[in-house]
Structure 1
Amino acid sequence: MAADVADLKTRAERLRELHSEEMLVLPNAWDAASATIVAEAGFPAVATASAAISAMLGYPDGEGAPWQEMFAAAGRVARVVSVPVTVDAEAGYGMEPRELVDRLLDIGAVGCNLEDTDHQAGGLVEAGAHAQWLAGVRSAADDAEVPIVINARVDTFLPASGIPEPDRVTESIRRGRLYRDAGADCIYPIGVRQKHDLATLVTELPGPVNGNTGEYLDLATLREMGVARVSYGPRFYRAALADLKTAVQELLA
């Protein structure tokens, strides 16, 4: 295990506290260097982005990369920072809850994103089954005596979910409540673009809600709405590559 249980427990408890204080902003990292930049800037926690890490490793997002490589990259992030680290663990890579918890703790992570997309079959996992699996993750974390922070991602707003647009808010609330009852600490309805939709979700979902910035949703608006956590996914990774592309192309001019 990368750190002793007492240290991991302290970090996990701190990560949970951050969800009830000032809005937690997480500019997602993808390697040791980007994680160091985020931590040295003063952010109180570091989150990884699976889309960025898988791309860096040369694989597609959506569990296209071997979990061993994804966890190794996330472990390098946790190794170089002293703040809590939460890992985008996609849909859990088919692991049983105890194995997932053990592997997270082995790399020094104290939080995880877990999404309800079925990457093998397409569409969404049945909500009740996913809630039961999340409950297993919570139970395994309790057994390990480290209160890992579970950010349960609800993928109903993603086109690949197959959920008709008029039903997305209602289905997000239904799923989010199930996941919260199962032991999730935060609910993450990814892909919400409209302020009124997100406002309804913040009101109707119990506990902290993870939002994203967008055309109509800047940080000030999200803070005013009561969003507890904001993440950026691969946005900064893509921006860094865009800057690199511009720089190298200028060498050929």
Structure 2
Amino acid sequence: MTDLATRARTLLDLHTAPEILVLTNVWDVVSAQVVAGTEGVRALATASHGIASTFGYEDGENIPLDLHLDMVGRITAAVDLPVSMDMEAGYGDAGETARRAMEKGVVGGNLEDQMKPLDEAVAAVEAVVRAGRDAGVDFVLNARTDALLRGGPGADRSELVAEAVRRGQAFLEAGAPVVFVPGLVAREEIEAVVEGLGRNRLTLISVPGASLPAREMQELGVARVSTGPFTQRVALTALQDAVVEMVGGGVLPAGTRALN
């Protein structure tokens, strides 16, 4: 576990560095190799949505865990950087899923609370932290709260933000080093959550056309920003645009690079 422990410590340190950690989510070996080989990339994260889509499954733990872990293991074996896995909600046993992920070379992971009762969500966080400790690894748990995603269209945003902070504080107290709040894009809301959790404790997802630039998130005290399913959609958009051009009588893009 020595190399695993070293990678975990590296990933943890990247979350507290002055520069925001940008994690590009990958979904297979070739996407991981391209991202890992890009200058400035310091770690990788897998995307459950992207991996599920690769095999024809809907997101939401519909892809069998064995198949999901197999792909994640192929990714970790193909790169030399720390890898964080999107564990979704833990597949019914968050601690065991984290243990199996570490066996595949993973040193961090996202865990959704799905707005379950707080004591249940905290217990899942504790189980993952305990699994890391038992393995001798500072597993970098990115404890996710869906407080902003589960609010109805007429919900009071300030109440949702307050709930995200309340749950996030509980996850930090349970041992998670960082908290992920999807749906958080407005500057004033980010500021409120950073104030509630502390600097370098919040992680966000970059949403096309909505999110602040990474450099501005860094100024606000955000620890990390990831890309979720959007990087796969960027790739698929480029593919579809190329197909449209070819079907319309054109040619493939002149700037296409031999990345595989």
TM-score (norm 2): 0.88
Q: Which of the residues 186, 191, 195 maps onto 1:199?
A: 191
1:175-186 alignment, distance < 5 Å: 175-186=167-178
2:120 aligned partner, one-letter code: A
What SS class does the counterpart of residue 251 from structure 1 fall into? Answer: helix
Query: Equivalents in 2 of 1:208, 1:249: separation in Å?
Result: 43
1:55 corresponding residue in structure 2: 53
Q: Which of the residues 209, 224, 235 maps onto 1:229?
A: 224
Whose Rg is larger? 2
2:136 aligned partner, one-letter code: E
Q: Pick which of 161-170 and 179-188 moved more.
A: 161-170
**Offset at residue 96 of structure 1 (A):** 5.0
Query: Equivalents in 1 of 2:192, 2:151: separation in Å?
Result: 22
Change (3 A) 1:7 1:83: same
Q: Pick which of 228-237 and 208-217 moved more.
A: 208-217
1:35-54 alignment, distance < 5 Å: 35-42=32-39, 43-54=41-52
Identity %: 37
Superposed CA offset, 1:6-25 (max 9, x none): 11000001100000112100
Query: Equivalents in 1 of 2:75, 2:154: separation in Å?
Result: 35
Q: Pick which of 81-90 and 208-217 moved more.
A: 208-217
Aligned residues, how many? 242
**Offset at residue 37 of structure 1 (A):** 1.1
2:201 corresponding residue in structure 1: 208
Change (3 A) 1:212 1:133: closer
1:27-38 alignment, distance < 5 Å: 27-38=24-35
Query: Equivalents in 1 of 2:109, 2:125: separation in Å?
Result: 11
Change (3 A) 1:234 1:216: closer
CA contact (8 A) 1:157 1:165 kept: no
Consecutive unaligned residues in structure 2, runs of 5 or more: 249-260
Q: Which of the residues 179, 185, 193 maps onto 1:187?
A: 179
1:102 aligned partner, one-letter code: R
1:11 corresponding residue in structure 2: 7
2:71 corresponding residue in structure 1: 73
| RMSD of equivalent CA atoms | 1.7
What SS class does the counterpart of residue 93 from structure 1 fall into? Answer: coil
CA contact (8 A) 1:49 1:234 kept: yes
TM-score (norm 1): 0.91
Q: Which of the residues 224, 233, 236 maps onto 1:241?
A: 236
**Offset at residue 213 of structure 1 (A):** 3.1
Change (3 A) 1:161 1:74: farther
Query: Equivalents in 2 of 1:91, 1:225: separation in Å?
Result: 28
Query: Equivalents in 2 of 1:222, 1:90: separation in Å?
Result: 24
Q: Which of the residues 78, 82, 88 maps onto 2:86?
A: 88
Change (3 A) 1:216 1:51: closer
CA contact (8 A) 2:165 2:196 kept: yes
Query: Equivalents in 2 of 1:41, 1:156: separation in Å?
Result: 34
